[in-house]
Amino acid sequence: MAISIKITKTTQSRISECDFNNIKFGNIFSDHMFVVDYEDGEWKNAEILPFGNLSLSPSTFALHYGQAIFEGMKAFINNNGEAQLFRPLDNWKRLNLSAKRMGMAELPADIFMDGLSKLVEIDKQWIPTLPGSALYIRPFMFAADNYVGVRTALKFKFVIFTCPVNAYYPKPLRVLVEQKYVRAFNGGVGNVKAAGNYAISMLPTTEANNKGFDQIIWTDGNEHKYVEESGTMNVFFVIGKKVITPNLDGTILAGITRDSCIKLLKSEGYEVEERKVSIDEIIEAHKNGLLNDAFGTGTAAIVAKIATFNHNGIDYNLPDVNTREVSNFLYKQLNAIQTGNAEDKFDWNLPIRNAAINI
């Protein structure tokens, strides 16, 4: 469905206030945002306008019942000086999977891609070019009914804003294997990007931070035996020559960076296993000198190396991050592909000039 987008550009750019050499992740926002509403069974009122506050009633449905979802994406400048997106249609597909599970309206591809591409092109000058940096893109949707009562929402608002970012994690991570709290159960919403998934992580993560850890490793809700995710990332382990990551069993988010890593590794001849992996197996591999690497993957972090994991009060230190084969390869290769400095053999990059074509 075609939709007209009203564009109102800012009269006063804030880009001169941004120190691109010192960006704290998620604190600096670009000049514009894209907004579109769902009412009476259709998407309407599409607009790109200066970044600013939304006006909401205290009775806004999402504030009471948590009906909200989001995505995380990045844009880069390629060697032709063009803004380009990394696997944007995969984010659109996952957004709609989340919307369906949360009982929300699904967003047509052309509205998503047209709004996204126009927004990034307008704020192209906000895309940083320092190594490890990017323009982070945050699409999100929430139930916008002014109603207090549990029923299916009828109105939704979809918004995209962007922010220039540097590295999410500045150093290798110390992580705590979680043995008390639970992130997700089968039949729940652990496999979608629902806002509430992140809300429930705040207390456990804060408690881990207070003990000197950067993040936690989630384990299954039944036995606290099987590894699921690491904080807000998918997690990988290298045991011997095998790369192992938990399989997508309904409680784990299907990370786009996760999928990219698996495809890259297989294309280079690595043996990758997607299966249940227990914390006991990881500890045993460590004791036998076979745990060569562990890392998280996600849009924000790309590849975040784990220096130490702690289980039941015992620290398990991993090899020096500078000597690791797999995580170093993945970080360098993904970054090179995203910035146009390596062959994009999977056609993941989409220059803005093509963003509204062939969707």
pLDDT in tens, 59-99: 999 999 999 999 999 999 998 899 999 999 999 999 999 99
Residue 122 clears pLDDT 60, i.e. is over it: yes
- pTM for the model: 0.95
Region(s) of the chain under CATH 3.30.470.10: 6-166
Residue 154 clears pLDDT 70, i.e. is over it: yes
- pLDDT tens digits for range 11-62: 999 999 999 999 988 899 999 999 999 999 999 999 999 999 999 999 999 9
Which residue in 108, 97, 41 sits closest to 71, CA to CA? 97
Residue 350 clears pLDDT 90, i.e. is over it: yes
Q: What is the pLDDT, as a whole number, of residue 359?
A: 37
Dihedral sign of CA atoms 325, 166, 191, 89 in order: negative
Residue 357 clears pLDDT 60, i.e. is over it: no
Spatial neighbors of 145 by CB under 8 A, at least 6 apart, are 60, 61, 153, 154, 155
Residues 173-338, CATH architecture: Alpha-Beta Barrel (3.20)
Which residue in 139, 150, 146 sits closest to 68, CA to CA? 139
Region(s) of the chain under CATH 3.20.10.10: 173-338
Q: Can you say whether residue 155 is alpha, beta or left, with left for phi > 0 and alpha for psi between -120 and 50 degrees?
A: beta
Mean pLDDT, rounded, for 97-120:
97
Asked if residue 47 lies in contact with residue 163, where contact means CB atoms within 8 angstroms, the answer is no
CATH 3.30.470.10, domain 6-166, yes or no: yes
Which residue in 187, 275, 267, 197 sits closest to 239, CA to CA? 275
